[in-house]
Amino acid sequence: MIFKNIIKNLSICMATVTLLGQCFIPSNTVSAAENQRSSFNLKAEKSLDFEKDKEKAKEWAESNFKDWKKSLTSEQQKIFKDNTRLKEMNDKIDRYDQISGKFSEKDKKDISQIDKALANKKATLSKSLNVYKNLKSEDLGYADKYFYAANDSRIIDREKYKKLVSEFQYGAINTFMEADLTKDSNNKSAPILLSLTLAKGTSIGHLNEDHIITERNLGIEITRTSIVVVNGREVIKLEGKVVSKEKIQEKVRKAEDNLNQKFKEITGLRKNLLQLKIDNLYASASIDRTETIIKQLVSNVPNNLLLNIMKNMNDKTLFTITDKILIPGKEGVLGYYDTISKTLFIQIDHYGHKNIEGNDVNTLLHEFGHAVDFLLITGKVPSKTSKFMSIYNREKKNITIEPYIKKDSTEFFAGVFNYLYSPKKSDREQIQKEAPEACKFIKDLINSLN
Protein backbone atom coordinates (compact mmCIF):
# COMPACT_ATOMS: atom_id res chain seq x y z
CA MET A 1 0.00 0.00 0.00
CA ILE A 2 1.39 3.37 -1.02
CA PHE A 3 2.01 5.78 1.86
CA LYS A 4 -1.13 7.87 2.46
CA ASN A 5 0.84 10.89 3.59
CA ILE A 6 1.73 12.06 0.08
CA ILE A 7 2.58 15.75 -0.14
CA LYS A 8 -0.63 17.69 -0.78
CA ASN A 9 0.84 20.92 -2.03
CA LEU A 10 2.07 20.03 -5.53
CA SER A 11 3.18 23.59 -6.17
CA ILE A 12 5.71 23.15 -3.37
CA CYS A 13 6.82 19.88 -4.96
CA MET A 14 7.36 21.48 -8.35
CA ALA A 15 9.44 24.26 -6.82
CA THR A 16 11.66 22.00 -4.74
CA VAL A 17 14.51 21.45 -7.19
CA THR A 18 14.80 25.08 -8.19
CA LEU A 19 14.51 26.56 -4.73
CA LEU A 20 16.40 23.96 -2.74
CA GLY A 21 19.09 24.03 -5.38
CA GLN A 22 19.53 27.74 -4.74
CA CYS A 23 20.07 27.01 -1.03
CA PHE A 24 23.20 25.05 -1.78
CA ILE A 25 25.02 27.39 -4.17
CA PRO A 26 28.25 28.65 -2.50
CA SER A 27 28.03 32.41 -2.15
CA ASN A 28 31.71 33.37 -2.41
CA THR A 29 33.52 33.71 -5.71
CA VAL A 30 37.23 32.96 -5.76
CA SER A 31 38.31 36.55 -6.32
CA ALA A 32 36.00 37.86 -3.61
CA ALA A 33 37.29 35.29 -1.15
CA GLU A 34 40.91 36.19 -1.84
CA ASN A 35 40.38 39.93 -1.61
CA GLN A 36 38.31 39.80 1.54
CA ARG A 37 40.71 37.53 3.40
CA SER A 38 43.75 39.52 2.35
CA SER A 39 42.36 42.62 4.06
CA PHE A 40 42.53 41.02 7.50
CA ASN A 41 46.30 41.55 7.73
CA LEU A 42 46.36 45.28 7.01
CA LYS A 43 46.85 46.31 10.66
CA ALA A 44 48.14 43.05 12.07
CA GLU A 45 50.65 43.17 14.89
CA LYS A 46 54.18 42.22 13.87
CA SER A 47 54.72 38.59 14.85
CA LEU A 48 57.92 36.80 15.74
CA ASP A 49 58.90 35.02 12.52
CA PHE A 50 62.12 33.08 11.96
CA GLU A 51 61.25 32.17 8.35
CA LYS A 52 64.40 30.29 7.20
CA ASP A 53 66.76 31.01 10.11
CA LYS A 54 66.76 27.58 11.74
CA GLU A 55 69.71 28.26 14.07
CA LYS A 56 68.13 31.42 15.46
CA ALA A 57 64.81 29.61 15.88
CA LYS A 58 66.48 26.75 17.72
CA GLU A 59 68.33 29.17 19.99
CA TRP A 60 65.11 31.05 20.80
CA ALA A 61 63.17 27.85 21.52
CA GLU A 62 65.83 26.41 23.82
CA SER A 63 66.00 29.65 25.78
CA ASN A 64 62.28 30.37 25.85
CA PHE A 65 61.20 26.86 26.88
CA LYS A 66 64.06 26.00 29.24
CA ASP A 67 61.95 26.46 32.38
CA TRP A 68 58.97 24.72 30.80
CA LYS A 69 61.01 21.61 30.03
CA LYS A 70 62.31 21.53 33.60
CA SER A 71 58.72 21.52 34.86
CA LEU A 72 57.75 18.39 32.91
CA THR A 73 57.26 15.09 34.71
CA SER A 74 59.25 12.07 33.53
CA GLU A 75 56.12 10.65 31.89
CA GLN A 76 55.43 13.90 30.04
CA GLN A 77 59.03 13.96 28.81
CA LYS A 78 58.66 10.40 27.49
CA ILE A 79 55.51 11.30 25.56
CA PHE A 80 57.03 14.41 23.96
CA LYS A 81 60.10 12.43 22.87
CA ASP A 82 58.06 9.59 21.35
CA ASN A 83 57.05 10.70 17.84
CA THR A 84 55.16 7.48 17.13
CA ARG A 85 53.14 7.79 20.32
CA LEU A 86 52.24 11.40 19.54
CA LYS A 87 51.24 10.56 15.97
CA GLU A 88 49.02 7.65 16.98
CA MET A 89 47.34 9.78 19.64
CA ASN A 90 46.69 12.63 17.23
CA ASP A 91 45.33 10.22 14.60
CA LYS A 92 42.78 8.92 17.11
CA ILE A 93 41.76 12.41 18.21
CA ASP A 94 41.34 13.41 14.57
CA ARG A 95 39.33 10.38 13.45
CA TYR A 96 37.17 9.40 16.40
CA ASP A 97 34.70 10.99 18.75
CA GLN A 98 36.28 10.71 22.21
CA ILE A 99 33.14 9.03 23.56
CA SER A 100 33.35 6.33 20.88
CA GLY A 101 35.12 3.77 23.05
CA LYS A 102 38.22 3.81 20.85
CA PHE A 103 40.25 5.60 23.52
CA SER A 104 41.89 3.32 26.07
CA GLU A 105 42.60 4.44 29.62
CA LYS A 106 46.23 4.87 28.56
CA ASP A 107 45.15 7.11 25.66
CA LYS A 108 43.08 9.25 28.00
CA LYS A 109 45.94 9.47 30.47
CA ASP A 110 48.41 10.50 27.74
CA ILE A 111 46.04 13.20 26.48
CA SER A 112 45.57 14.48 30.02
CA GLN A 113 49.36 14.54 30.58
CA ILE A 114 49.91 16.68 27.48
CA ASP A 115 46.99 18.96 28.33
CA LYS A 116 48.49 19.58 31.75
CA ALA A 117 51.98 20.19 30.36
CA LEU A 118 50.71 22.77 27.88
CA ALA A 119 48.46 24.40 30.49
CA ASN A 120 51.59 25.42 32.38
CA LYS A 121 52.06 29.21 32.30
CA LYS A 122 55.64 28.64 31.12
CA ALA A 123 54.18 27.31 27.83
CA THR A 124 52.22 30.50 27.10
CA LEU A 125 53.39 32.75 24.27
CA SER A 126 54.16 36.31 25.37
CA LYS A 127 54.12 37.48 21.75
CA SER A 128 52.41 36.27 18.58
CA LEU A 129 54.48 33.75 16.63
CA ASN A 130 54.52 32.47 13.05
CA VAL A 131 54.89 28.72 12.59
CA TYR A 132 54.99 26.56 9.47
CA LYS A 133 53.59 23.17 8.56
CA ASN A 134 53.76 21.18 5.33
CA LEU A 135 50.43 19.61 4.45
CA LYS A 136 49.49 16.74 2.16
CA SER A 137 46.39 16.96 -0.02
CA GLU A 138 44.70 14.43 2.26
CA ASP A 139 45.19 16.72 5.27
CA LEU A 140 42.65 19.07 3.69
CA GLY A 141 40.27 16.39 2.47
CA TYR A 142 41.51 16.00 -1.10
CA ALA A 143 42.91 12.96 -2.91
CA ASP A 144 46.67 12.30 -3.08
CA LYS A 145 48.40 14.47 -5.73
CA TYR A 146 45.09 16.25 -6.30
CA PHE A 147 46.52 19.75 -6.77
CA TYR A 148 49.18 19.07 -9.39
CA ALA A 149 48.59 19.18 -13.13
CA ALA A 150 48.11 15.77 -14.74
CA ASN A 151 50.99 16.32 -17.17
CA ASP A 152 53.43 18.08 -14.81
CA SER A 153 53.88 17.23 -11.12
CA ARG A 154 55.65 20.57 -10.53
CA ILE A 155 52.74 22.78 -11.61
CA ILE A 156 49.63 23.52 -9.53
CA ASP A 157 46.39 22.98 -11.45
CA ARG A 158 44.80 26.47 -11.44
CA GLU A 159 41.20 25.26 -11.43
CA LYS A 160 41.83 23.02 -8.43
CA TYR A 161 43.66 25.87 -6.73
CA LYS A 162 40.60 28.08 -7.23
CA LYS A 163 38.45 25.34 -5.71
CA LEU A 164 40.68 25.30 -2.62
CA VAL A 165 40.54 29.09 -2.28
CA SER A 166 36.76 28.99 -2.50
CA GLU A 167 36.28 26.07 -0.09
CA PHE A 168 38.94 26.39 2.59
CA GLN A 169 38.25 29.41 4.77
CA TYR A 170 38.23 28.12 8.34
CA GLY A 171 38.52 25.00 10.46
CA ALA A 172 39.41 23.51 13.84
CA ILE A 173 42.67 22.13 15.20
CA ASN A 174 41.58 19.36 17.55
CA THR A 175 44.93 17.63 17.80
CA PHE A 176 48.18 18.62 19.46
CA MET A 177 49.45 20.10 16.21
CA GLU A 178 53.14 19.71 15.45
CA ALA A 179 54.73 22.50 13.44
CA ASP A 180 58.09 24.15 12.71
CA LEU A 181 59.44 27.57 13.56
CA THR A 182 61.01 27.78 10.08
CA LYS A 183 60.10 26.83 6.53
CA ASP A 184 61.34 23.39 5.51
CA SER A 185 63.64 24.00 2.54
CA ASN A 186 63.96 20.23 1.99
CA ASN A 187 60.27 19.73 1.27
CA LYS A 188 60.07 17.90 -2.06
CA SER A 189 56.57 16.45 -2.04
CA ALA A 190 54.03 18.34 0.13
CA PRO A 191 51.84 20.54 -2.11
CA ILE A 192 50.76 22.93 0.65
CA LEU A 193 52.65 25.16 3.06
CA LEU A 194 50.63 26.46 5.99
CA SER A 195 51.98 29.66 7.53
CA LEU A 196 50.08 30.11 10.76
CA THR A 197 50.17 32.99 13.23
CA LEU A 198 49.74 31.81 16.81
CA ALA A 199 48.25 34.58 18.91
CA LYS A 200 49.80 35.89 22.10
CA GLY A 201 48.55 33.68 24.93
CA THR A 202 48.52 30.47 22.86
CA SER A 203 50.15 27.54 24.65
CA ILE A 204 52.92 25.64 22.87
CA GLY A 205 55.77 23.33 23.82
CA HIS A 206 59.22 22.80 22.33
CA LEU A 207 59.90 19.27 21.07
CA ASN A 208 63.39 19.52 19.54
CA GLU A 209 65.41 21.57 17.05
CA ASP A 210 62.85 24.04 15.64
CA HIS A 211 59.87 21.72 16.14
CA ILE A 212 57.00 22.76 18.40
CA ILE A 213 53.65 21.35 19.49
CA THR A 214 50.50 23.39 20.17
CA GLU A 215 47.66 22.97 22.61
CA ARG A 216 44.59 21.33 21.10
CA ASN A 217 41.09 22.69 20.44
CA LEU A 218 42.05 25.81 18.52
CA GLY A 219 40.36 27.50 15.59
CA ILE A 220 41.99 28.58 12.34
CA GLU A 221 40.98 31.19 9.76
CA ILE A 222 42.70 31.45 6.38
CA THR A 223 43.59 35.06 5.58
CA ARG A 224 45.48 34.72 2.30
CA THR A 225 46.23 32.08 -0.33
CA SER A 226 48.90 32.18 -3.04
CA ILE A 227 51.11 30.01 -5.22
CA VAL A 228 54.86 30.15 -4.52
CA VAL A 229 57.84 28.34 -6.00
CA VAL A 230 59.94 26.11 -3.73
CA ASN A 231 62.96 24.29 -5.19
CA GLY A 232 61.60 24.64 -8.72
CA ARG A 233 58.18 23.26 -7.76
CA GLU A 234 54.96 25.20 -7.24
CA VAL A 235 53.44 25.02 -3.76
CA ILE A 236 50.19 26.46 -2.42
CA LYS A 237 50.89 28.80 0.47
CA LEU A 238 48.08 29.22 2.99
CA GLU A 239 48.42 32.06 5.46
CA GLY A 240 46.20 31.90 8.49
CA LYS A 241 45.72 32.84 12.09
CA VAL A 242 44.64 31.02 15.22
CA VAL A 243 41.27 32.03 16.67
CA SER A 244 39.14 30.49 19.41
CA LYS A 245 37.57 27.15 18.58
CA GLU A 246 34.26 28.59 19.79
CA LYS A 247 34.37 31.06 16.90
CA ILE A 248 34.67 28.19 14.41
CA GLN A 249 31.92 26.20 16.11
CA GLU A 250 29.67 29.24 15.81
CA LYS A 251 30.38 29.44 12.06
CA VAL A 252 29.41 25.77 11.69
CA ARG A 253 26.23 26.30 13.73
CA LYS A 254 25.32 29.32 11.63
CA ALA A 255 25.79 27.37 8.39
CA GLU A 256 23.63 24.56 9.79
CA ASP A 257 20.91 26.98 10.94
CA ASN A 258 20.82 28.77 7.58
CA LEU A 259 20.41 25.54 5.62
CA ASN A 260 17.74 24.21 7.97
CA GLN A 261 15.76 27.46 7.95
CA LYS A 262 15.70 27.62 4.15
CA PHE A 263 14.68 23.97 3.99
CA LYS A 264 11.73 24.57 6.33
CA GLU A 265 10.59 27.68 4.47
CA ILE A 266 10.64 25.93 1.09
CA THR A 267 9.17 22.54 2.00
CA GLY A 268 6.82 23.49 4.81
CA LEU A 269 8.21 20.58 6.84
CA ARG A 270 8.72 21.27 10.55
CA LYS A 271 11.99 19.39 10.86
CA ASN A 272 15.66 20.03 10.20
CA LEU A 273 17.31 18.94 6.99
CA LEU A 274 20.62 18.14 8.63
CA GLN A 275 22.91 18.19 11.62
CA LEU A 276 26.51 19.19 10.91
CA LYS A 277 28.97 17.39 13.17
CA ILE A 278 31.92 19.03 11.44
CA ASP A 279 34.99 19.65 13.53
CA ASN A 280 38.10 19.30 11.35
CA LEU A 281 40.92 21.43 9.98
CA TYR A 282 39.02 22.09 6.76
CA ALA A 283 35.53 22.53 8.27
CA SER A 284 34.44 25.15 5.73
CA ALA A 285 35.38 22.83 2.85
CA SER A 286 33.42 19.96 4.42
CA ILE A 287 30.37 22.22 4.71
CA ASP A 288 30.78 23.33 1.09
CA ARG A 289 30.91 19.69 -0.02
CA THR A 290 27.85 18.90 2.07
CA GLU A 291 25.93 21.65 0.29
CA THR A 292 27.11 20.29 -3.06
CA ILE A 293 25.97 16.70 -2.51
CA ILE A 294 22.58 17.75 -1.14
CA LYS A 295 22.11 20.00 -4.14
CA GLN A 296 22.80 16.97 -6.35
CA LEU A 297 20.24 14.94 -4.41
CA VAL A 298 17.44 17.51 -4.74
CA SER A 299 18.33 18.21 -8.37
CA ASN A 300 18.20 14.59 -9.54
CA VAL A 301 15.63 12.73 -7.45
CA PRO A 302 11.97 13.23 -8.53
CA ASN A 303 10.27 15.98 -6.53
CA ASN A 304 7.29 13.98 -5.32
CA LEU A 305 9.49 11.12 -4.13
CA LEU A 306 11.97 13.45 -2.46
CA LEU A 307 9.36 15.18 -0.32
CA ASN A 308 7.41 12.01 0.39
CA ILE A 309 10.46 10.27 1.84
CA MET A 310 11.75 13.35 3.68
CA LYS A 311 8.34 13.80 5.27
CA ASN A 312 8.47 10.27 6.65
CA MET A 313 12.06 10.29 7.86
CA ASN A 314 13.13 11.27 11.38
CA ASP A 315 10.85 13.85 13.03
CA LYS A 316 13.74 16.13 14.00
CA THR A 317 16.68 15.72 11.60
CA LEU A 318 16.93 13.90 8.26
CA PHE A 319 20.69 13.76 7.69
CA THR A 320 23.69 13.74 10.00
CA ILE A 321 26.88 14.80 8.24
CA THR A 322 30.08 14.18 10.18
CA ASP A 323 33.85 14.10 9.76
CA LYS A 324 34.35 11.31 12.31
CA ILE A 325 34.34 7.52 11.86
CA LEU A 326 30.68 6.44 11.76
CA ILE A 327 31.06 2.98 13.27
CA PRO A 328 34.23 2.31 15.30
CA GLY A 329 35.71 -0.98 14.13
CA LYS A 330 34.11 -0.60 10.69
CA GLU A 331 36.20 2.21 9.28
CA GLY A 332 35.25 1.31 5.69
CA VAL A 333 31.66 2.54 6.14
CA LEU A 334 31.10 5.71 4.09
CA GLY A 335 27.48 6.18 5.13
CA TYR A 336 24.37 4.32 6.23
CA TYR A 337 20.63 4.68 6.65
CA ASP A 338 19.41 3.79 10.15
CA THR A 339 16.02 2.09 9.83
CA ILE A 340 15.26 2.60 13.54
CA SER A 341 15.90 6.35 13.81
CA LYS A 342 15.04 6.91 10.12
CA THR A 343 18.15 9.07 9.83
CA LEU A 344 20.80 9.05 7.11
CA PHE A 345 24.47 9.31 8.15
CA ILE A 346 27.40 10.34 5.93
CA GLN A 347 31.10 10.63 6.78
CA ILE A 348 31.82 13.49 4.41
CA ASP A 349 35.62 13.31 4.64
CA HIS A 350 35.99 9.51 4.39
CA TYR A 351 39.03 8.46 2.34
CA GLY A 352 36.60 6.72 -0.03
CA HIS A 353 35.12 10.15 -0.73
CA LYS A 354 38.48 11.94 -0.92
CA ASN A 355 40.07 9.51 -3.35
CA ILE A 356 37.22 9.23 -5.85
CA GLU A 357 35.67 12.53 -6.89
CA GLY A 358 31.88 12.36 -6.87
CA ASN A 359 31.76 9.28 -4.66
CA ASP A 360 30.21 11.33 -1.84
CA VAL A 361 27.22 11.99 -4.10
CA ASN A 362 26.98 8.26 -4.83
CA THR A 363 26.97 7.51 -1.10
CA LEU A 364 24.16 9.99 -0.40
CA LEU A 365 22.03 8.72 -3.30
CA HIS A 366 22.68 5.08 -2.34
CA GLU A 367 21.66 5.63 1.29
CA PHE A 368 18.65 7.68 0.24
CA GLY A 369 17.76 4.67 -1.91
CA HIS A 370 17.64 2.61 1.29
CA ALA A 371 15.34 5.23 2.83
CA VAL A 372 13.05 4.92 -0.21
CA ASP A 373 13.08 1.14 0.14
CA PHE A 374 12.04 1.23 3.80
CA LEU A 375 9.69 4.24 3.83
CA LEU A 376 7.81 4.31 0.53
CA ILE A 377 5.30 1.54 1.21
CA THR A 378 3.68 0.97 4.60
CA GLY A 379 4.52 -2.45 6.00
CA LYS A 380 6.48 -3.60 2.96
CA VAL A 381 10.09 -3.40 1.79
CA PRO A 382 10.10 -3.49 -2.05
CA SER A 383 13.61 -4.98 -2.28
CA LYS A 384 12.43 -8.03 -0.32
CA THR A 385 9.33 -8.78 -2.38
CA SER A 386 9.33 -11.93 -4.50
CA LYS A 387 9.03 -9.83 -7.66
CA PHE A 388 12.14 -7.78 -6.98
CA MET A 389 14.05 -10.81 -5.67
CA SER A 390 13.44 -12.51 -9.02
CA ILE A 391 14.70 -9.42 -10.86
CA TYR A 392 17.76 -9.30 -8.61
CA ASN A 393 18.61 -12.95 -9.25
CA ARG A 394 18.31 -12.46 -13.01
CA GLU A 395 20.21 -9.18 -13.33
CA LYS A 396 22.94 -9.25 -10.67
CA LYS A 397 25.26 -11.20 -12.97
CA ASN A 398 25.16 -8.29 -15.46
CA ILE A 399 26.43 -5.70 -12.98
CA THR A 400 29.87 -4.19 -13.60
CA ILE A 401 29.19 -0.59 -12.55
CA GLU A 402 29.72 -1.44 -8.85
CA PRO A 403 30.25 -5.06 -7.72
CA TYR A 404 29.19 -4.26 -4.13
CA ILE A 405 25.53 -3.83 -5.08
CA LYS A 406 25.35 -7.52 -6.06
CA LYS A 407 25.68 -8.41 -2.34
CA ASP A 408 21.92 -8.86 -1.75
CA SER A 409 18.59 -7.57 -3.01
CA THR A 410 18.51 -4.65 -0.54
CA GLU A 411 21.91 -3.33 -1.65
CA PHE A 412 20.92 -4.01 -5.25
CA PHE A 413 17.83 -1.81 -4.87
CA ALA A 414 19.80 1.06 -3.30
CA GLY A 415 22.63 0.72 -5.82
CA VAL A 416 20.33 0.75 -8.84
CA PHE A 417 18.49 3.75 -7.35
CA ASN A 418 21.81 5.59 -6.94
CA TYR A 419 22.90 5.16 -10.54
CA LEU A 420 19.40 5.62 -11.97
CA TYR A 421 19.31 9.13 -10.47
CA SER A 422 23.01 9.91 -10.73
CA PRO A 423 24.03 13.37 -11.98
CA LYS A 424 26.33 11.52 -14.41
CA LYS A 425 24.63 10.64 -17.68
CA SER A 426 27.06 7.77 -18.31
CA ASP A 427 26.09 6.13 -15.00
CA ARG A 428 22.37 6.47 -15.75
CA GLU A 429 22.83 4.89 -19.17
CA GLN A 430 25.02 2.06 -17.86
CA ILE A 431 22.69 0.98 -15.06
CA GLN A 432 19.71 0.93 -17.44
CA LYS A 433 21.67 -1.38 -19.75
CA GLU A 434 22.85 -3.67 -16.94
CA ALA A 435 19.64 -3.75 -14.86
CA PRO A 436 16.71 -2.64 -17.06
CA GLU A 437 14.07 -4.59 -15.11
CA ALA A 438 15.23 -3.22 -11.75
CA CYS A 439 15.20 0.32 -13.16
CA LYS A 440 11.65 -0.15 -14.45
CA PHE A 441 10.57 -1.59 -11.10
CA ILE A 442 11.86 1.47 -9.23
CA LYS A 443 10.41 3.92 -11.75
CA ASP A 444 7.01 2.23 -11.53
CA LEU A 445 7.09 2.55 -7.74
CA ILE A 446 7.77 6.26 -7.99
CA ASN A 447 5.15 6.79 -10.69
CA SER A 448 2.57 5.19 -8.40
CA LEU A 449 2.86 8.27 -6.17
CA ASN A 450 1.20 10.44 -8.84
Q: State the number of CA atoms in the 13 A half-sphere of 386 facing the CB.
A: 0
CA 344 – CA 365 distance, rounded (Å): 10
What are the start-end ranges of the E strands in 333-380? 335-338, 343-347
User: Cα(first)–Cα(last) distance of the chain, in Å?
Assistant: 14
Instruction: Calculate the CA dihedral of residues 400, 294, 218, 200 and round it to 10 degrees.
Output: 120
pLDDT at 102: 82
- Which among 48, 50, 69 has a CA at the least distance from the CA of 58? 50
Read off φ and ψ for residue 365, nearest 5 degrees. -65, -40
Inter-axis angle of helices 359-375 and 283-300, to 10 degrees?
A: 50
pLDDT at 16: 43
pLDDT at 100: 64
pLDDT at 30: 35
- What domains are there in the chain, each with its CATH number? 10-27+248-447 (3.40.390.10), 30-245 (3.90.176.10)
Mean pLDDT, consecutive 10-residue stretches, the chain (450 aa), reads 30 40 43 39 72 96 97 97 95 81 90 97 97 94 90 95 95 97 86 97 97 98 96 95 98 97 91 96 95 95 95 97 92 96 97 89 98 95 98 98 98 99 98 99 92
pLDDT at 169: 97
Contact 425, 301 (CB under 8 A): no
